[in-house]
Copies of this chain bind each other. A is one copy, B any other.
Amino acid sequence: MARNKELNQKIKDERREQILSSALMLFATKGLSATRITDISAAAGISQGLMYHYCKSKEEIFSELIKYALDRMNAACIELEKLPLPPHQKIKMAIEKLLQGFDANKNTSYYYLLILQATVSEAIPREAKEIISQGSSLPYEVIERILIEGQKEGTIKDYDARDLSVVFWTSIKGLALNKAAFGGSYKMPDPRILAGIFLNE
C-alpha cells in the first residue's frame, strides 16, 4: 500500500520534471503563446489529456519555471556577496562563472529568454508578472554594492555604480540571448573583455 503510494509519487515527480524540462525548451524557442499544450505533452511523451493531471495550465508551468530561475539566480548572488574575496575578484569570478554556465548548458540561456519574455510581454499570466516584479532587482543591487565597495578601494572604475551594474547585467543578458539564438555553434568570448569594463588595471 505505502509502497504503491511512494512509487506513484515517484512516477508523478519524474513526469513533472519531464514536463518542466520540455516546457522550458519550448517556451524559450516559441514563446508562451505559440507553445501549445500538445507540444509539451508530445515532447514529454504523454497524451494531451494527461497533461491536466500534472498541471492546471501551461501558464502555471511558465510561472513555475520563472520562479525557479529567479530563486536560483538570487541565491547565487547572495552567495557571491558573502564570499571572502575582495570586490574586484568577486566581479571577475561572477563573469567567469556566468560565461562558463552559458557554454556548459544551453538550458541556462533558455532561462534568460523566459525571464525576458516575462519582463517584456503583456501576454503573460499575472502570477508570473508578480514573481518577476518582486524578484528581479536583487542581482542589480548586489552587483551595485560590490562595485561601490571596489570603488572605495580604487579597484573598480569610477563611473556611476548604478550604470555599471546595469551594463554588467545587460551585457550578460545579451550574451545569454546570443547563446540561446545561435546555440552550439557559438562560443563565449574571453571573460577578461567584460571584466575590463569594470576593473582598473
Residues of A within 8 A of B (CB): 28-35, 113, 116-117, 119-123, 157, 159-160, 163-164, 166-167, 169-175, 177-178, 180-181, 189-190, 192-194, 196-197
With A116-B177, A172-B174, A197-B197: A31-B33 Cβ-Cβ less than 8 Å = yes
Complex Cα distance A16/B173, Å?
34
Question: Contacts of A117 on B, CB cut-off 8 Å?
Answer: 31
Question: Contacts of A31 on B, CB cut-off 8 Å?
Answer: 31-34, 117, 121, 123
Question: 11 pairs across A/B with beta carbons < 8 Å?
Answer: A29-B121, A31-B117, A31-B123, A159-B189, A163-B189, A164-B193, A169-B174, A170-B175, A171-B171, A171-B174, A196-B196
With A171-B174, A174-B172, A177-B116: A123-B30 Cβ-Cβ less than 8 Å = yes
Question: Contacts of A29 on B, CB cut-off 8 Å?
Answer: 120-122
Question: Contacts of A178 on B, CB cut-off 8 Å?
Answer: 166, 170, 173
- Of B32, B174, B190, B197, which one neighbours A34 at CB under 8 angstroms? B32
Which has the most chain B C-beta neighbours within 10 Å: A35, A192, A193? Answer: A193
- Of B157, B160, B172, which one neighbours A189 at CB under 8 angstroms? B160
- Of B32, B121, B159, B193, which one neighbours A192 at CB under 8 angstroms? B159
Contacting pair B167 A119 (CB below 8 A): no
Which has the most chain B C-beta neighbours within 10 Å: A171, A174, A177, A194? Answer: A174
Identify the closest chain B residue to A180 (Cβ): B120
Question: Contacts of A181 on B, CB cut-off 8 Å?
Answer: 116, 119-120
